[in-house]
């Protein structure tokens, strides 16, 4: 081990020299990749002695990248600027730390019974068949998504995608099941990763201008960090993602937008693929089983919340492996540290539960950590509401029990049928999935005596987090958010709970599927048909939909929205202006114009952005009234007061509810109107400094 470190040391010193004298040298990316490969291969063999070198090497490489992001986050909060030199230095520091941990924190060698050769399956031509089937079908999904990409505002991507898209994605997932029957780790890892990326990669390819609205805000912050090396004011969250994205963009000269869009979908595939290196051979069927249980809708867009989920989930699996399979715990600690740096509130439950797993179920401190994981986020929000004035209304008494009973009743009630076979089937799968996860986890707890301690921590933590989410959603009302987003924070706790329960549940599900598939032909055919329908529905549920059973809230950013934003900025001629627009348009404006203008509102004590903040706020309240019950000039003048400007623009999209009536009312209050995209977007201009825009 020391000789291996001495071999890599000259390259680290050379990279440090580039950081001082030539940080933008084209040799820097090559050195980074070389050091990652060498360190990953060497330490992977040391830390994961019973696992394939490729998968263990990728895990160690992720450990180094996690350390790099953590160091950059710390450097940022110490008022250091992020540039090529500091980014190279952080990477060198992370590699050195990893090697020092390897040198001074050794794990016991495996016994003869644990030898790799006796436990691993050799590659067989049938493995190649499953691998090709997975790659071709996953590639077809991504190709059709790319060909179906649009710059128009859409509510759901499914009408744009060919009918065979779901069939191809389902085939990729079935190929992963087939690979699990043979038990070759690399084949399972590659088929599962391909199927995962096929599902999570659809949104970035179809929504060519961006999906949702959170991503636009985060990319704008990343762009500022990339350009200036800092953010002002310093955000208390998200730096784990921001620093990593800017690290890749700076040192590898890649486009920021595509690095950001691809980060979570690709990381999700890599992480699930890595699980094939962590589980013992008899449990490898749990890896494709995860495809049937994971909430893929949480991983189709890059946000700090989603990245924290991925990293936290990886940390839990690494910690479980360290406890049960005698692998090194350092990768688990690095992954959960990265999760905390990315989103502290999302990473905190993962951190406490990772610690509990590493300590083991026989220590009282582990169970204290399990209970703390469930209570940490609600307590943090309660403290923020009392100390920082965060607008949260807290309920108590009979209202809580009534709300919990309502939640339980709604959870256990099957969805109503709409006489639409596909939509009804998908709705049933959506309702059944969390119930199946809970039931399978309970079965695992009572039938897995050998690993009951690890399983007990995961199931206890998951159950308590789901209960905490239900209670939190009942007693806390986030009044600072838009009404239909006020349950999001509680729902995130439930999502983390389901991720925890999915680990033991997938092991039960995978074992039962493998048993049936290796049994009678008739039972295997029935099960394959069931898996086909289940996976097809899960893939359909991963993306926004508009069918007989559900209608997604949001519309995507369209080309006409960007044209309107640019036209408004030109029309203002550098004069201060305020815009009333919906969430999607506001998010696109942030990415397009940056954080251009804020004013301080003495009445509320808030800083008002010149577009409505997508999560709510006083300016958004004015927009809702101006495009709803009171589209009057007086209402719009309130926006001028809030934004401290004479010019106000109102953006009205064709898809907005009651758009025709509101448009007529707004047109009667101003003589200046612009249209974009053949009427897809209408912009009404007001100038309260003159009488030129007097009502008709």
Nearest of 177, 191, 275 to residue 518 by alpha carbon: 177
For the chain, the first-to-last Cα distance in angstroms comes to: 83
Query: Quick check: helix, strand or coil at residue 609?
Result: strand
Query: Which range, 197-211, 225-239, 605-619, is most confident?
Result: 197-211
**Domain residues of the chain, as ranges?**
2-104, 121-212+255-541, 559-687
What is the percent of the chain where pLDDT is above 70? 92
Higher pLDDT, 410 or 37: 37
Place of tokens 């709300």: 403
Average pLDDT (316-340) is 92
Mean per-residue pLDDT over the chain, rounded: 89
What is the rounded distance in angstroms from the CA atom of residue 292 to the CA atom of residue 436? 10
Q: What is the structure's pLDDT at 695?
A: 43
Q: What are the CA-CA distances from residue 687 to residues 612, 633, 636 (Å)?
A: 19, 11, 10
- Upstream peptide bond of 656 is cis (omega within 30 degrees of 0): no
Q: What is the structure's pLDDT at 18?
A: 93
Q: What is the structure's pLDDT at 680?
A: 95
Q: What are the CA-CA distances from residue 237 to residues 165, 232, 234, 344, 581 (Å)?
A: 37, 13, 9, 7, 26
What is the percent of the chain where pLDDT is above 90? 70
Q: What is the structure's pLDDT at 118?
A: 44
Is 681:675 a contact under the CB 8 Å cutoff? Answer: yes
φ/ψ bin of 229: left (φ > 0), alpha (ψ from -120 to 50), beta (otherwise): left
Query: Quick check: helix, strand or coil at residue 580?
Result: strand
Our CA dihedral for 313, 315, 321, 322, rounded to 10 degrees, sits at -160
Burial class (CB in 10 A: 0-12, 13-18, 19+), 6: exposed
Average pLDDT (532-548) is 94
Higher pLDDT, 377 or 528: 528
* 381 pLDDT higher than 90: no
What is the rounded distance in angstroms from the CA atom of residue 666 to the CA atom of residue 626? 8
* 417 pLDDT higher than 90: no
Q: What is the structure's pLDDT at 482?
A: 54
Name which of 7-21, 483-497, 610-624, 644-658 the model is least confident about.
483-497
Q: What is the pLDDT of residues 34-58, one digit of tens each?
A: 999 999 999 998 898 766 678 899 9
Query: Quick check: helix, strand or coil at residue 695?
Result: coil
Q: What is the structure's pLDDT at 192?
A: 96
Average pLDDT (299-311) is 95
pTM above 0.75, yes or no: yes
Query: Quick check: helix, strand or coil at residue 682?
Result: strand
What is the rounded distance in angstroms from the CA atom of residue 468 to the CA atom of residue 431? 20
Name which of 334-348, 369-383, 394-408, 449-463 the model is least confident about.
394-408
Average pLDDT (588-600) is 90
Higher pLDDT, 691 or 441: 441
Q: What is the structure's pLDDT at 411?
A: 84
Residue 212 pLDDT grade (very low, low, confident, very high; cuts 50, 70, 90): confident
Strand-strand pairing, 577-580 and 647-653: parallel
Q: What is the pLDDT of residues 137-164, one digit of tens each?
A: 999 999 999 999 999 999 999 999 998 9
Q: What is the structure's pLDDT at 116?
A: 45
Q: What is the pLDDT of residues 57-66, one digit of tens each?
A: 999 999 999 9
Q: What is the structure's pLDDT at 481?
A: 52
Residue 475 pLDDT grade (very low, low, confident, very high; cuts 50, 70, 90): confident
- Upstream peptide bond of 233 is cis (omega within 30 degrees of 0): yes
Q: What is the pLDDT of residues 166-208, one digit of tens each?
A: 999 999 999 999 999 888 899 999 999 999 999 999 999 999 9
What is the rounded distance in angstroms from the CA atom of residue 225 to the CA atom of residue 239? 10
Average pLDDT (89-110) is 91
What is the rounded distance in angstroms from the CA atom of residue 199 to the CA atom of residue 190? 14
Is 261:180 a contact under the CB 8 Å cutoff? Answer: no
Q: What is the structure's pLDDT at 140?
A: 97
* 480 pLDDT higher than 70: no
Name which of 350-364, 395-409, 422-436, 536-550 the model is least confident about.
395-409
Q: What is the structure's pLDDT at 693?
A: 46
Which two three-digit tokens encode residue 116? 């790799």
Nearest of 251, 280, 144 to residue 205 by alpha carbon: 144
* 117 pLDDT higher than 70: no
Is 179:189 a contact under the CB 8 Å cutoff? Answer: no
């Amino acid at each position: 081990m020391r000789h291996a470190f001495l071999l890599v040391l000259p390259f680290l010193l050379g990279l440090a020299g580039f950081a001082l004298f030539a940080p933008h040298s084209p040799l820097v990316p090559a050195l980074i990749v070389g050091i990652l490969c060498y360190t990953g291969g060497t330490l992977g063999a040391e830390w994961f002695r019973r696992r394939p070198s490729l998968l263990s090497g990728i895990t160690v490489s992720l450990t180094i990248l996690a350390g790099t992001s953590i160091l950059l986050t710390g450097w940022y909060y110490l008022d250091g600027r992020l540039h090529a030199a500091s980014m190279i230095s952080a990477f060198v520091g992370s590699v050195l730390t990893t090697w020092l941990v390897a040198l001074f924190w050794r794990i016991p060698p495996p016994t003869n019974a644990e030898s790799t050769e006796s436990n691993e399956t050799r590659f067989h031509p049938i493995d190649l068949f499953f691998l090709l089937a997975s790659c071709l079908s996953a590639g077809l999904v991504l190709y059709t998504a790319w060909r179906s990409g649009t710059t128009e505002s859409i509510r759901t991507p499914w009408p744009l995608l060919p009918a065979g898209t779901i069939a191809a994605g389902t085939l990729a997932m079935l190929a992963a099941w087939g690979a699990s029957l043979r038990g070759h780790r690399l084949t399972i890892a590659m088929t599962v990763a391909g199927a995962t990326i096929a599902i999570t990669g659809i949104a970035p390819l179809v929504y060519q201008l961006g999906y949702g609205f959170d991503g636009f805000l985060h990319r704008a912050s990343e762009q500022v960090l990339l350009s200036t090396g800092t953010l002002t004011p310093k955000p208390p969250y998200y730096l784990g993602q921001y620093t990593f994205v800017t690290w890749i963009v700076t040192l590898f000269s890649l486009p920021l937008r595509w690095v950001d869009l691809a980060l979570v979908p690709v990381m999700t595939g890599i992480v699930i693929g890595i699980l094939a290196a962590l589980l013992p051979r008899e449990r490898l069927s749990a890896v494709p089983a995860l495809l049937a249980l994971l909430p893929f809708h949480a991983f189709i867009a890059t946000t700090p919340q989603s990245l924290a989920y991925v990293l936290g989930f990886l940390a839990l699996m690494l910690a479980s492996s360290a406890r049960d399979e005698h692998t090194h715990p350092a990768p688990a600690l690095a992954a959960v540290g990265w999760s905390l740096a990315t989103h502290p509130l999302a990473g905190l439950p993962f951190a406490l539960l990772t610690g509990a797993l590493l300590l083991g179920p026989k220590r009282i401190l582990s169970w204290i950590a399990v209970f703390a994981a469930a209570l940490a986020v609600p307590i943090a929000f309660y403290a923020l509401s009392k100390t920082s004035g965060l607008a949260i209304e807290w309920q108590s008494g009979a209202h809580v029990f009534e709300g919990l009973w309502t939640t339980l009743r709604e959870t256990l009630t099957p969805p109503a049928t709409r006489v639409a076979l596909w939509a009804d089937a998908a709705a049933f799968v959506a309702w059944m999935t969390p119930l199946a996860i809970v039931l399978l986890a309970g079965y695992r707890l009572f039938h897995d005596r050998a690993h009951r301690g690890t399983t007990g921590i995961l199931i206890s933590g998951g159950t308590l987090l789901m209960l905490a989410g239900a209670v939190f959603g009942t007693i806390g009302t986030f009044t600072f958010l838009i009404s239909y987003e006020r349950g999001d924070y509680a729902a995130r706790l439930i999502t983390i709970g389901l991720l925890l329960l999915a680990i033991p549940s997938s092991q039960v599900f995978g074992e039962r599927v493998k048993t049936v598939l290796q049994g009678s032909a008739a039972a295997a055919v029935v099960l394959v048909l069931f898996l086909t329908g289940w996976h097809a529905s899960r893939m359909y549920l991963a993306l926004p939909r508009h069918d007989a059973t559900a209608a997604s809230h949001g519309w995507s950013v369209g080309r006409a929205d960007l044209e309107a934003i640019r036209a408004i900025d030109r029309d203002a001629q550098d004069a201060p202006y305020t815009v009333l627009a919906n969430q999607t348009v506001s998010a696109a404006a942030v990415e397009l114009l940056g954080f251009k203008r804020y004013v301080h509102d003495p009445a509320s004590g808030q800083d008002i952005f010149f577009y409505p903040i997508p999560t709510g706020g006083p300016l958004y309240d004015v927009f809702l009234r101006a495009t709803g019950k009171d589209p009057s000039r007086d209402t719009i003048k309130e926006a001028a007061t809030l934004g401290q400007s004479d010019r106000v623009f109102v953006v009205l999209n064709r898809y907005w509810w009651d758009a025709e009536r509101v448009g007529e009312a707004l047109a009667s209050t101003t003589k200046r109107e612009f249209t974009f995209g053949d009427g897809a977007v209408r912009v009404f201009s007001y100038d309260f400094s003159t009488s030129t825009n007097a009502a008709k």
